Amino acid sequence: MRRRAAGLKIIFSLFAALALAASGAPRFAGAWESKSGNLQQQPAKKHSKDQEKAKPADTDDSGAEEAASKEPAKPKVRTITAFLTLNRDAYEQQIADTLDFLNKAKAVFVAAGFEVQTLRIATQPFPEYTRDLPPEDAFTFLRKLDHLAGADGFLISVGPAMQHVGDDPHLAGLLANALAPAENMNGSVVIGGEDGIHWDAIGAAAGVIAFLAEHSPRSQGNFSFAAVSMVPPGTPFFPAGFNSGNDHQFAIGLQSANVIAEALKGQKNPAAAENAVREKLGAFAVQLERIGKDAAQQTGWNYEGIDLSPAPLKHDSIGAAIEGYTGSWLGSSGTLSAAALITRAIQSIPVTRVGYSGLMLPVLEDSTIARRWSEGSISIDGLLAYSSVCGTGLDTIPLPGRVSPEQLIKILGDVASLSVKWKKPLSARILPIAGKDAGDRTDFDNPRLVNVMLRPLP
């Protein structure tokens, strides 16, 4: 225990240094060092049994798209997310009760003909229930939550380590240590809000990204971490989701890129295309909201709404949908207009919307977007431009492992600046790949991720 506590203190001291960010030029400490000056390194995490069984993601996802189903496009429920105010003294029973609700809600959606992919629990920001613990005990408790999620088959978000200007950057260090070995846990750092850009949090978030790149298998730990700005509580998608303090609430998020693709198929007129998206996705959204309210009535939980962002998954591709509409590759002229069109349609659907409810362009979760990234057709700046009219920011961006802390700070600063300027929810999931450089190919074994060729640093 003493040895582990000492190791944690070393890491926390690093993050305290990393988070020092002046308004002019925030800087990182150069290395993680012990008192003797020797570099320290956390042992590599062992793969779980599930990871060992999982087949590696396709090494060539640039091939032909899957054959289109003859059945009409239908969305899947990517997540039913329950929001929980965690009490450390009663958390096991709280989680058991919440899972009981989630399984009942899932049964209602499945009975109505919709596939439910994941069940999730989002807590209030974890510092609220660990602040009285020594760092090593807080770490142990977060590990317990991850293990419990794995045993019971759900995903958990422990919310932001830093939410306000002046929050302790050591908490970002704690989150980084907890996420590195985690398999079912997510977390975040808030880098912008109504009070402006949080430069100290940007420095800390950059530190978390750098740490997870070095200390998680295949640098995949950053898939479970996001730097978020203006993202409200009650967002069902992870890693951004967290609870604002109210219990017995839930929201849903969709995987519906296929519905957008079908709506846009054959459309040439922008107004007609926008109306087609609104009508086709809207019909499902109204139906799903009705089912959500039925689940609420049956369980006594409160239905909060739908995040209508049309999340893709590999060949269920929003990138392919946009290319089918524009008649050209993603990243060419017309891409921004298509992104704006889809987002306007989504935000005009008459249901209770939560979260981002905008267009998602996750590079590593969409086969077409991944291919265009590998080809160099899209870039960080291009994706930020699209985020000005849609969402959700920079999502699952692969970078060479030698990206510097200063470069990460600049990237996160751009996301926060855009979010604060336009008062819209944006986030950044950045995945530097340790030991790989531009021209190398990633070797993720997460079945949700597409392997890509790394591009030169911006």
The whole-number pLDDT of residue 70 equals 61
Query: How many residues are recorded in the chain?
Result: 458
The whole-number pLDDT of residue 44 equals 37
- Return the closest-CA partner of residue 287 out of 266, 313, 256: 256
- Residue whose pair of structure tokens reads 């899947």 in the numeric block: 76
- Residue whose pair of structure tokens reads 């200063």 in the numeric block: 406
Per-residue pLDDT tens, the chain, 458 aa: give them: 433 443 444 344 444 444 433 333 333 333 232 222 332 333 333 333 333 333 333 434 444 344 444 678 999 999 999 999 999 999 999 999 999 999 999 999 999 999 999 999 999 999 999 999 999 999 999 999 999 999 999 999 999 999 999 999 999 999 999 999 999 999 999 999 999 999 999 999 999 999 999 999 999 999 999 999 999 999 999 999 999 878 899 999 999 999 999 999 999 999 999 999 999 999 999 999 999 999 999 999 999 999 999 999 999 999 999 999 999 999 999 999 999 999 999 999 999 999 999 999 999 999 999 999 999 999 999 999 999 998 789 999 999 999 999 999 999 999 999 999 999 999 999 999 999 999 999 999 999 999 999 999 98
The whole-number pLDDT of residue 440 equals 97
153: left (phi over 0), alpha (psi -120 to 50) or beta: left
Q: What is the pTM of this model?
A: 0.87
The whole-number pLDDT of residue 115 equals 98
Burial 246-283 (b: 16+ CB within 10 A, else e): ebbbbbbbbbbbbbbbbbbeebeeeeebbbbbbebbbe
Rounded-to-integer distance, Cα 284 and Cα 342, Å: 16
- What count of other Cβ atoms lies within 10 Å of the Cβ of residue 192? 28
Q: Which two tokens stand for residue 14?
A: 């690093």
